[in-house]
Amino acid sequence: MTRHTTRLRQLIAAQEILVAPGAYDGTGARLVRELGFQAVYLSGFQTSAAVLGQPDVGYLTLTQMVARVAMFAEVSELPLIADADTGYGNPLNVRRTVRAYESAGAAALHLEDQTFPKRCGHMLGRHVIARTDARTTLGLDEAIDHGAAYHEAGADVLFVESPESEQEMRRVCDAFRGVVPVLSNQIEGGRTPLLNTRDLQDMGYSLALFSLGAGFAAAKGMRDYLRTLATRGDTSAMRPEMLDFDEFNTLIGLDEHSELERRYAVPD
């Protein structure tokens, strides 16, 4: 069986761009697999929102994220790319973080080198030391220089976060074309233009993360459902927008577990 790390390298090296949607729970990870994607992304932003109900400002701990990585690895065989925030401490903590993510089943992770408290890469007010998504604070030239330094240090993929125009996105791709793969982080409502994956591929991107959109869609769906219940007193108007009970049980694998129960049942 091909290791997840090897499979991910193959997908990134392929001619076709790798699209990795973001998920924050096991149901989302199952949906990404069901709909034919080849990799899944675990977002720290959405995990902070889902687990803590808090913004992405450094509240999540290493153990909370590693538990999420392990859960994803259990419910999906897809290579997992995981957000490791700032590495949760000093260089020795970063070393521990890498080993913990690897042991939990991540195929890859990305690290931010912001000062604390960290922020989502599309939020303002960030301070950086040598981060590849330094565009917002230090400018694109500086961000590209940081990317080059990361490549020299051994990074497999460069994550130059939040370029603010298609021209800037092309500059990033041109700077590293034929040298090292680059990824685009596509966030609905973020600072980077939203493009079709084919256009991203034509620009030169090897990997596209759609890191937050599924969570935004789920939050709107829950708000619409609860608003309907609050205003109408029933949820019949929402039924066309929902999976039904049996469909949801199939999605989360009840049929597989029922079969296991039958296989291992003790005879009366």
Domain boundaries, the chain: 4-218
What per-residue confidence (pLDDT) applies to 124? Answer: 43
What per-residue confidence (pLDDT) applies to 139? Answer: 85
Cα-based distances in Å from 123 to 13, 65, 258:
30, 21, 45
What per-residue confidence (pLDDT) applies to 100? Answer: 97
pLDDT, tens digit (0-9, with 9 covering 90-100), for 81-122: 999 998 998 889 999 999 999 999 999 999 886 655 555 554
- Name the CATH code of domain 4-218 (choices 3.30.1370.60, 3.20.20.60, 3.40.50.300, 2.60.40.790): 3.20.20.60
3-state helix, strand, coil in the chain (%, to 5): 50, 10, 40
**Count of helices and strands (H, E) across the chain:** 12, 6
Residue numbers in the chain where pLDDT is lower than 50:
122-128, 130-131
Residues 207, 18 contacting (CB under 8 angstroms): yes
Q: Where are the beta strands (DSSP E) in the chain?
A: 18-23, 40-42, 80-83, 108-110, 183-185, 207-210
What per-residue confidence (pLDDT) applies to 112? Answer: 80
Q: SS3 of 41, please? A: strand
Residues in contact with 145: Cβ distance below 8 Å, sequence separation at least 6, in sequence order: none
Q: What distance lies between CA 102 and its chain's CA centroid?
A: 16
Residues 216, 185 contacting (CB under 8 angstroms): no
